[in-house]
Chains A and B, each alone.
Chain A
Amino acid sequence: MTHVHKIYLYPLWLRIWHAINALGILILITTGITMQYSNPAFKLMNFELAVNLHNISGIAVSVSYFLFIIGNRLTHNHTYYRLKLKGLYTKLTLQIVYYTYGIFKNQSPPFPISEKRKFNPMQKVAYLIVMYLFVPGLILTGLGLLFPELILENIYQLSGIFLTAILHASLGFLTSIFLIIHLYVASIGKYPLNNFRSIVNGYHDTNIH
């Protein structure tokens, strides 16, 4: 006998932040690609519109990032990101083995979602890198490009703007790679759409045998 147990995992403020962030990042990726690979022969979008949308979404995502950090501090949400280095290698190996083997053998996940654990160790590492390294890096380099007078003119032989722009585009690319993986991993579970529903209504379904 299996019954479904619902855990309230995503509070309203977090869902609103997630929605704003998701929309903003999708616009940023689309407009970023439009600008980086702009081609008059094949126009995905008007360049000027892309620049304006990128600037507005960039500011919106930056503001929402700081609200996320504040929200994390004020609630217990930050506890989900706590990572113990001790035993991390073993935990990551267990999770990798599950994703590449166990999942196909209908084994139970080694780190199932519970009220105390929202993320498995691999997710924790990925989210920590993205949310505390890539996104702040993107915000800082983005601010630099928005206000180029803040950037050092030359760093050794290279232009400061050149380095900032390369770093911004590279971090943007890596974040879009994360987004693809993030969307795919979200489809893993008993039903592929469950996690997408959860981030809308806040409840995560767990099966209790």
Chain B
Amino acid sequence: MRSSLLSLVILFQFCFVQTLPAQEKQIAPENDQCIKCHTHQTITFENTLTKREDKRLMNPLYILDKNHFAQGVHGRFKCTDCHPAEYSHYPHKAELKLEPLSTCLDCHGGDARYASFQFEKIDEEFQKSVHFQKSGESFTCSKCHDQHYYQAKSRNSTEVGDIVLFSNQMCMSCHSNNNKFQLISDSLKPALAQIHEWLPNQELHFKNIRCIECHTQVVDSLSVSHNIMPKEKALKNCVECHSKNSMLEASLYKYKNLQGRSQKGKLHTIIANKAYVIGAYQNNLLNSVSIILFLVVLTGILIHLIARIVKK
């Protein structure tokens, strides 16, 4: 029950954030023909057998949210950049569905323009992950990264909450949805709330850190770690995050901090630090003031004590 409620909250937040108008972003005009049908709930077509016009419900899986698509990293793409060019003819041939789609590495692999994102390294890490180990090639990038709507949040967003929401929604899209979960497993989705019962302030953790913080091995050179570990290896040691050298600095806050420092200076990052993690947040100024105050009190007491003993 708690798990479903949590998923609903995350889903609601996700929808709310994601359905904001695309503002200036427009999708490629070449897609107009596709969008005419694929953004509507119904489809009207000429039935060649009955020779009548039929109006039917569109398969929900084939309905595109065009505003959401326009905001994604592929928002300026033509549909036929990834889908077979034959889709430009209607009615679409049934066997087109069986054709394998382009994979991420087909475009991103071995291309100097994307070198900094290290797609090959990501693939290497992903192949060590429990997802690949259990499902092999059938676990494609798109299982988590929906090509239509994917946004590079962890790199571009300055809002930690936004990064967390977007990232956790990727995990929750299967781990809180039995239909999708069973695409890769014979069992039912895990009871997330019960499994994480040991975690104090569970909802606060779910809302403020990404699942991957504990469920992946952090690789410094990668923006986002892709080696999702088996659940037995998940991090359960509080001080990995709750300490001065918090692991979160190398993962969740990495880009936020780097951006903040370069754009607004270090001071701003400290003042506008919207995150508070017990143990990880240690303000140098407050630390120094407290140590000085502590030493002044101790010194005062010591002098007073010595004077009392001497004057006795």
| Binary contact track B190-203/A, C-beta < 8 Å → 1, others 0 | 00000000001101
CA distance in complex: A158, B281 (Å): 14
CB of A112 within 8 Å of the partner chain: no
Least CB separation from B305: chain A residue: A184
Chain A contacts of B200 at CB under 8 A?
48, 51-52, 55
Chain A 61-75 residues near chain B, CB threshold 8 A: none
Chain A contacts of B304 at CB under 8 A?
99, 184
Asked if residues B305 and A162 are in contact (CB atoms below 8 Å), the reply is no
Chain B contacts of A43 at CB under 8 A?
239
Most chain B CB neighbours (cut-off 10 Å) among A47, A103, A106, A166 = A47
CA distance in complex: A105, B312 (Å): 9
A159 touching B239 in the complex, CB below 8 Å, given contacts A39-B244, A148-B201, A180-B297: no
Asked if residues B308 and A104 are in contact (CB atoms below 8 Å), the reply is yes
Least CB separation from A104: chain B residue: B311
Chain A contacts of B297 at CB under 8 A?
177, 180-181
Count of chain B residues with Cβ under 8 Å from any Cβ of A?
Answer: 35
Would you give the shortest CB distance from B118 to chain A, in whole angstroms?
A: 29
Asked if residues B301 and A184 are in contact (CB atoms below 8 Å), the reply is yes
Chain B contacts of A52 at CB under 8 A?
200
Chain A contacts of B204 at CB under 8 A?
148
A158 touching B272 in the complex, CB below 8 Å, given contacts A39-B243, A104-B307, A148-B204: yes
CA distance in complex: A58, B304 (Å): 33
Q: Secondary structure of the A side of the interface?
A: helix
Least CB separation from B160: chain A residue: A159
Chain A 81-135 residues near chain B, CB threshold 8 A: 99, 103-106
Contacting residue for B279 out of A35, A103, A148, CB 8 A: A35
Least CB separation from A163: chain B residue: B276
A47 touching B301 in the complex, CB below 8 Å, given contacts A104-B307, A104-B308, A149-B203: no
Asked if residues B239 and A47 are in contact (CB atoms below 8 Å), the reply is yes
Chain B 263-312 residues near chain A, CB threshold 8 A: 271-276, 278-279, 281-283, 286, 290, 293-294, 297-298, 301, 304-305, 307-308, 311
CA distance in complex: A47, B241 (Å): 11
CA distance in complex: A106, B271 (Å): 51
Chain B contacts of A103 at CB under 8 A?
308
CA distance in complex: A200, B248 (Å): 48
Chain B contacts of A38 at CB under 8 A?
238-239, 242-244, 278-279
Chain B contacts of A165 at CB under 8 A?
276, 278, 281
Asked if residues A158 and B301 are in contact (CB atoms below 8 Å), the reply is no
Asked if residues B239 and A177 are in contact (CB atoms below 8 Å), the reply is no
Least CB separation from A48: chain B residue: B238
Chain B contacts of A159 at CB under 8 A?
273-276
CA distance in complex: A172, B297 (Å): 16
Asked if residues A177 and B279 are in contact (CB atoms below 8 Å), the reply is no
CA distance in complex: A177, B276 (Å): 24
A173 touching B276 in the complex, CB below 8 Å, given contacts A39-B244, A184-B301: no
CA distance in complex: A158, B273 (Å): 7
Chain B contacts of A188 at CB under 8 A?
308
CB of B240 within 8 Å of the partner chain: yes
Would you give the shortest CB distance from B261 to chain A, in whole angstroms?
A: 17
Asked if residues A177 and B294 are in contact (CB atoms below 8 Å), the reply is yes
CA distance in complex: A177, B281 (Å): 22
Asked if residues A173 and B290 are in contact (CB atoms below 8 Å), the reply is yes
Chain B contacts of A106 at CB under 8 A?
311
CB of A157 within 8 Å of the partner chain: yes
Chain B contacts of A181 at CB under 8 A?
297, 301
Least CB separation from A149: chain B residue: B203
CA distance in complex: A166, B290 (Å): 13
CA distance in complex: A180, B298 (Å): 8
Asked if residues A47 and B276 are in contact (CB atoms below 8 Å), the reply is no
| Binary contact track B233-250/A, C-beta < 8 Å → 1, others 0 | 000011110111100000
Least CB separation from B293: chain A residue: A177
| Binary contact track A143-177/B, C-beta < 8 Å → 1, others 0 | 00000110000100111011001100110010001
CB of A36 within 8 Å of the partner chain: yes
Chain B contacts of A8 at CB under 8 A?
none
A39 touching B294 in the complex, CB below 8 Å, given contacts A148-B204, A159-B275, A162-B275: no
Chain A contacts of B244 at CB under 8 A?
37-39
CA distance in complex: A158, B272 (Å): 6
Beyond the given pairs A159-B275, A162-B273, 18 more chain A to chain B contacts, judged by CB atoms under 8 angstroms and listed by A's residue number, are: A35-B279, A38-B239, A39-B244, A40-B237, A40-B240, A47-B239, A51-B200, A52-B200, A99-B304, A103-B308, A104-B311, A158-B272, A165-B276, A165-B278, A165-B281, A170-B286, A177-B294, A180-B298
Binding site for A on B (CB under 8 A): 200-201, 203-204, 237-240, 242-245, 271-276, 278-279, 281-283, 286, 290, 293-294, 297-298, 301, 304-305, 307-308, 311
